[in-house]
Structure 1
Amino acid sequence: MMLGMRKKVKVLGGVILVFLFSGLLFAWHHGKKVEVEVVEVTRGPLRSIVEATGTVRAVNQNVVVSEISAKVKKVWVKEGDRVKEGQVLLEFDDSELRRQLERAKAAVKFFQAQLEQIQAGARQEEVTQARALVSQAEAAYEQSRQQLVRLRQLFEQQAVSRQQLEEAETNFKIAQEELIRARAQLNLLQEGAQQEALEAAAAQLEQAKAELALLQLNLSRARVLSPISGTVLKKMVTVGTFVPVGTELFVIGDPSRLEILALIHQEDMAGIQVGERVEIEFDSGPERRKIEGWVKKISPAAETQVSSLGLRQAVVPVTVGVNETEGLLPGYRVELNFITADREDVLLVPEDALFEENQNHKVLVVEEGIAQSRLVKIGGTDGNLVEVISGLKEGELVVLDPEKVPAERVSVRVDRKIRL
C-alpha cells in the first residue's frame, strides 16, 4: 500500500516539474526583447515630384493633310517660312482630274439632252441616227479593247511604258462609257416618253451632276492652302511624290507661343492637377537651361501606348504651359518635374516605417521598451519620406522595417536610433 502511494507521489511530482519547466521556458521566450532600429518623428519640408519627358509644340499648331490622292507637282514653301491664312503651300498634278472633269461635264450635258428628248418624244430619223451612233460606239469599243489587250501583253514584255498602258486603259474606259450612253439613248428613243424612262433619265442626270460637283471640289483641293497664319514648322513631302488621301503634308504653327505635351503613366497621375507648378529642363546649345511652367490641361481620357518591350500601357496626355520660350523650339524633347507636393514644416517618417493592415496605414511606436501598432493618416511622399497628417507627434520613435517584428505589441530593445 505504501509502495503504491510512493509511485503516485513520484508521478505527480514529475508532472508538476514538467509544467513548471514549460512555464519558465514560456516566460523566458516571451520576455526576450526584439532588437529594432528606430527613427525619430521629425518636422521638415516635403517635396514630391513626378518625372516625365515631353515634346514642345506650338499652341495653335495645325497639321495640314492631303484631301485627294495625287502626285505632288509643286511645293511653294520650306520649313521656317512665314505664311498667311489662305496662302498656297502645295500644288498637286491635276491633269487627270481635269480630264475626268471634262468627261463629267459631257455626261451632264448628255443626260440633260436625253431627259429633254424623252420628255419631247422621238422622231424616226432620230432613232435611225441613234442606231448609227451605237454601231460607231461598238466599233470604237472593240478597237480600244483589242488595243488594250495588245498593250498589256507588250507591257509584260517591257516593250511599252506604263504611261502608254494607262492611256490605253483610259481610252478603253471612254469607249465603254460612250457605248453605254449610245445604247441607252437608242433604248429611250425606242421606248418613248414612258414614266419609268423619265424617272431613270432624271436619276442619271442627278448622278452625273453629283459626280461633276465632286470632281470640281477635288480640283479645288489640288491647291493646298494654309489654314492659319504662322510658320511652317515641318514639311513632310517632296515634288514628284504620290501621296494618298489623308497624308500629312505640313505642320503650321506660331513658334512664339509654345506648350509641351507629356504622356504620363496612369499610376503617376494621382497627384497631378491643373495649375500645378512644373520644372522644365532642356539643353540649349552648350548650356543646360531650367525654366518653369504649369499644368495647363489634362486629357479626360487615357491612351494606349506600346513600350519598347512591347507592353501596352495606359498613358494620359498632359499639356504644360510655359512662362518663357527662349531657347525652345517646336519638336524639342524636354525633361519635366511635376511638383505634386511642396510643403514646409510637416511631420515626416520614412516609407520603410509604414505597413498596411486592412487597407489602413500603421506604424510601430516604441514607448518604454514596448513596440505597439498605431493607425496613422498619411499625405504626400517624395519617394523616401512620407507626410504624417495625424496619428503621431514630433519626437516619437517608430520602428524601421516593422515586418521584422513578430507581433504588433512586443518588448523591444533599440539597437540603433536614426534621426532624419
Structure 2
Amino acid sequence: MEFDMLLKKKLYVTMLSFMVLLLGCGDKIKPGTTREVEKKVIKTAVTTATVIQQPFIYEAVGTVQARTSSTLSSKIMGAVKAINVREGDLVKKGDLLVMIDDRQVSAQLRKAEAALSEAKRSEMSVKSARDAAKATAKLASVTYKRYLKLMEEESASKQEFDEVEARFRQTQASLAQTEAIVEAADQRIQQAEAVVAAALIGKKDASVRAPYDGKVTAKMVDEGDLAAPGTPFFALEKEGVYCVALVLPEKHIQSIRLKQKIKIKIPSIQNRSFEGFVGRIDPSADPKSRTFRIRVALPEDKDIRSGMFARVEIPVGEAGMLLISSTAVVHEGQLTGIYLVDSHQLAHFRLIRIGRAFGDNVEVVSGLKDGTRYVVDPPPDLMDGVKVEDVS
C-alpha cells in the first residue's frame, strides 16, 4: 500500500516537471539587455596621438625656509628684566625686544670712566715734567756749545768743560725719559678709552633690539631667567622673503644653474604653483648621501610660511611622451579611458592609464599607441560603435 502511494507521487512529480519544460520551450527567448547602437553619425573633433619631446622633470621635495633668519642671543651676563614680544609678533628694525639688568655693566662703565679720568690727569702731570725737562735740556745744550768754543780758545779749564758736558748729557737723558713717560701715559689713555667703549657697548647690549623687520617665530626665554653670553632669546625671520631648501642627487647637478627658473608647488595652500629661481648651489656634495644642497628663492606671498612642505620640479633632460588633450579623457568611476576612431570612422572606448599633466595636455602611460586617432572632446551621447564625423 505504501509502495503504491510512493510510486504515484513520483509519477506525479515527473509529469509536472515535463509540463513545465514544455511550457518553457514553447516561449520565445527574449534578446539581451544590450542597447542596439543607433544608426546615427556624431560630428566631433578627431585628432591623432603623437609622441612629443617634453622636459624630463625630477621632482624634489623640500622645506620652505626664510632666506634671512637669526637667533638673537645675549651678549652679557644678567637677569632678564622685561620681554616685550612673543611668538608671532611682527617687529620693526630697532624695536626693543628684551631688557637685561644693566647694574653690573653700569658699574663697569663708571669704573672705566674713572680710570680714563685718572689716566688723563696722569698724562697732564708727565707732560708738565716733560716741558721742564725740555727747558733744562735746552739750557744745558746752550751752555755746552758755549764751553766748546771756550775750550777751542783755551779760555776754560778741562774740569769746567767736563762738568758742563756731564750736565748736558744728563738733561738729554732726562728729556728722553720724560718723553717715554708721556708716550706711556698716552697709551694708558687709549686703553682706558677702549675699556670705556667696551663698557658702553655692554650697557647697550643690555637692550636687545630687532636687527631688521621680521616676525618672531620662537621665544626661548622668560622674565627672571639668568642670561649668559650666548643664551638664545628669540628666533627671528625676515617676513615675506622665503626659499625652498632641498637636496639634489649628484647625477642631476649638471642640469641646474644659478638664476634658473624653477616651478614650485606647495600642497598646503591649495597646491598653488610658484615660479622661483635657483639662488644657491652648495659647491661640494655630501660625501654620505652624494647630494648637493640647493636653495630655490620664492616670490613674496602672504600665504607662504616657514616650515611648509614643497615640491620642486627640476628639468633634467628631455624624453618622448605620448600626450593627449585632457578633454579627451573620460572618467568612469575609478577607470579612465578615451574614444578611439578606427578606419571605418567608428568610435571605440579604450581604457588608458594617465600620468602627469602638462598644461591642457595629459601624459598617457599605457593603453594608447603613437598615431592612434581619438575624439578630442567626446559629447555626452557618444557610445561605443557610433560613427564619428571629424569636424576639426
**TM score, norm. by length of structure 2:** 0.49
TM-score, scaled relative to structure 1 = 0.46
